[in-house]
Amino acid sequence: EAGVAQSPRYKIIEKRQSVAFWCNPISGHATLYWYQQILGQGPKLLIQFQNNGVVDDSQLPKDRFSAERLKGVDSTLKIQPAKLEDSAVYLCASSLSVNLATNEKLFFGSGTQLSVL
Amino acid sequence: QQQVKQSPQSLIVQKGGISIINCAYENTAFDYFPWYQQFPGKGPALLIAIRPDVSEKKEGRFTISFNKSAKQFSLHIMDSQPGDSATYFCAASENSGAGSYQLTFGKGTKLSVIP
């Protein structure tokens, strides 16, 4: 079974530039998540989608971050403009759960490591 | 505000020894407690999980102990192997409303198992 695919694997940009990350979840997984993992910390949820609708984006810095999940499959996360503190690994995860009763069986991608200089 | 406190930050264990990682929480609304294992360059992977109505869960060499009254839970790795060297995250889940369950992660413990 194919896992969660993410690209690019690494990205280096200068502050104030824009960047986009792509995620393809496991086939059939209705729920998709974007997490931010700063070095030395645990992942922090940025946004959660159920199919192509947003369930929770309370921790997404909406002045600079945006995300979409067109057609309920692939998703992109964008940062514009980037700040130094955005340097982190951006992890995409998906789960099969349709009724959102639980999200414990999250499957994570390998992430995109972003460095903002 | 750190809702899940994890310790130690790093741990070195001899091969064959027992690795113990502890987590504590304050939010009594948490109702699910998974542990994730993360290797360098990879995303976290679910290792084992427990619900608060159970005090212990064992899967192979991995055991979760849960103390609801103390609001603490721990991961025990028996017969630790070099292949277990990774970063371990505890997490806790609650219903944040509208059917959305959020995972809150601890800061992680970097485990090194030396031969």
Segment A51-97, tens digit of pLDDT? 889 988 999 999 999 999 988 899 999 999 999 999 999 999 998 87
CB contact under 8 A, A109 and B43: yes
Mean pLDDT, range A7-33, rounded to an integer: 95
Segment A25-48, tens digit of pLDDT? 999 898 899 999 999 999 999 999
Residue spans of beta strands (DSSP E) within chain A: 5-7, 10-13, 19-24, 31-37, 44-50, 53-56, 65-68, 75-79, 88-95, 107-108, 112-116
Per-residue pLDDT of chain B (115 residues; tens, 9 = 90+): 568 999 999 999 999 999 999 999 999 988 889 999 999 999 999 999 998 889 999 999 999 999 999 999 999 999 999 999 999 999 998 876 666 677 899 999 999 999 9
Chain A residues contacting B via beta carbons under 8 Å? 4, 40-45, 48, 55-56, 58, 91, 93, 99-111
Q: What's the confidence (pLDDT) of residue B96?
A: 67
CB contact under 8 A, B34 and A40: no
Q: What's the confidence (pLDDT) of residue B97?
A: 66
Q: What's the confidence (pLDDT) of residue B101?
A: 73
What does the mean pLDDT of chain A come to?
91
- Residues of chain A neighbouring B4 (CB-CB closer than 8 A): 42
CB contact under 8 A, A101 and B106: no
Instruction: Return the number of other C-beta atoms located less than 10 Å from residue B41's C-beta.
Output: 10
Give bridge partners of residue A20 from the DSSP assignment.
Answer: A78
- Residues of chain B neighbouring A103 (CB-CB closer than 8 A): 93, 101-103
Q: What's the confidence (pLDDT) of residue B1?
A: 53
> Is B103 near chain A, with CB under 8 Å?
yes
Q: Give the least confident one: A14-18, A96-100, B1-5.
A: A96-100
Q: In what order do the strands lie in the sheet with B19-25?
A: B4-7, B19-25, B72-77, B62-67, B56-59
Q: What's the confidence (pLDDT) of residue A101?
A: 47
Q: In what order do the strands lie in the sheet with A5-7?
A: A5-7, A19-24, A75-79, A65-68
Test mutation, A103, A105, A113, chain B, max B CBs within 10 A: A103
CB contact under 8 A, B108 and A103: no
Of A64, A77, A62, the C-alpha closest to A17 is A64
Exposure string (b/e) for B72-95, b if CB count within 10 Å is 16 or more? ebbbbbeebeeebbbbbbbbbbbb
